[in-house]
């Protein structure tokens, strides 16, 4: 059985919130430990809470200090290379989704035109019920298909001519 989806919002009940924090903090520290052990990387975790005066430092303050010093000694370009905040991530995400939407709309429109074309070729009288925009799109689609077919025919003729010329050359004896 899978986990149910958790809504990400502040837990209003104090005792439930503290219990959830304790469990999730333990899980986070376990993940950091696994990451360090399994992947052989330096890792540390600093967890600040409003209730504690001192932050929780994993694995130890000295080791965490060494990891942070190593990070801070990197050039600023390398420090921020893989960091993303919501302001940086959202525009990329939105633009990618807009591109997908645009491609989907175009593909949908192309399929509608194909369907209209097929209906017309099968004898249905769809031209009379079409709007001017749809008619224009249909004509453009037919023109594009004719251009593509003409290009394919020209390519076939050219390759046939090259093949014919290759066979007609008689080797000198």
Domain coordinates in residue numbering, the chain: 14-74, 86-166
Long-range contacts of 133-139 (CB under 8 A, 24+ apart): 137/109, 137/113, 138/113
pTM for the structure as a whole: 0.46
* C-alpha to C-alpha distance for 54 and 171, rounded to whole angstroms: 92
Token pair recorded at residue 143: 């023109």
Degrees (nearest 5) of the Cα angle 80, 86, 91? 100
Q: Which of 147, 85, 143, 141 is nearest to 109 (CA)?
A: 141
Fold for the domain defined by 14-74: SRF-like (3.40.1810)
Q: pLDDT in tens for each of the 173 residues of the chain?
A: 677 888 888 999 999 999 999 999 999 999 999 999 999 999 999 999 888 888 999 999 999 999 999 989 988 888 877 777 767 667 777 888 999 999 999 899 888 888 887 887 888 877 777 788 878 887 888 888 899 999 999 999 998 888 887 777 656 55
């Amino acid at each position: 059985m899978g986990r149910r989806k958790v809504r990400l919002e502040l837990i209003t009940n104090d005792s439930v919130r503290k219990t959830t924090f304790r469990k999730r903090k333990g899980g986070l520290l376990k993940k950091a430990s696994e990451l360090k052990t399994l992947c052989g990387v330096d890792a540390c975790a600093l967890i600040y809470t409003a209730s504690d005066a001192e932050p929780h430092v994993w694995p130890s303050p000295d080791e965490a200090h060494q990891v942070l010093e190593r990070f801070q000694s990197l050039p600023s370009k390398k420090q921020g290379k893989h960091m993303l905040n919501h302001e940086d991530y959202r525009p990329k995400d939105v633009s990618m989704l807009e591109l997908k939407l645009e491609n989907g709309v175009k593909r949908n429109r192309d399929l509608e035109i194909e369907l209209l074309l097929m209906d017309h070729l099968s004898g249905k009288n769809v031209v009379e019920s079409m709007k001017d925009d749809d008619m224009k799109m249909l004509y453009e689609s037919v023109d594009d298909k004719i251009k593509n077919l003409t290009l394919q025919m020209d390519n076939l003729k050219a390759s046939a001519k090259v093949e014919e010329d290759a066979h007609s050359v008689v080797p000198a004896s």
